[in-house]
Amino acid sequence: MYDDDAFRFDDAQGVSDDDHCEIFSTNNSFPQIIQGVLALMALGSLWWKRKNERPKRHIKTWTLDVLKQGGGAVYAHFLNIFVR
């Protein structure tokens, strides 16, 4: 049904063994800046939503909702890493 070679990443498809994640690279701070900007955008949008929602929920309810969404995102992120 599926061709397993279509999902293989090797030199034939332009990805070598030397390729690796550079988010934690000490040579380049650009990936960390991008991650920081994305984090600020995510947290900023949650803060903006909290400030503008009507009727305003109790802070405990809002915090639990945010933690639930964050936990789901972390779970999906790590599941995506380990499944690949």
Q: pLDDT tens, 26-57? A: 777 888 888 889 989 998 999 999 999 999 99
Question: 61, 49 in Cβ contact below 8 A?
Answer: no
The residues spanned by each domain of the chain are 58-84
Whole-model pTM over 0.75 = no
Q: Which pLDDT score, from 0 to 100, does residue 32 have?
A: 82
* Mean pLDDT for the stretch of residues 69-83: 89
Q: Which pLDDT score, from 0 to 100, does residue 6 have?
A: 56
**What is the distance between the alpha carbons of residues 58 and 28, in angstroms, rounded to a whole number?**
42
pLDDT band with cut points at 50, 70 and 90 for residue 3: low
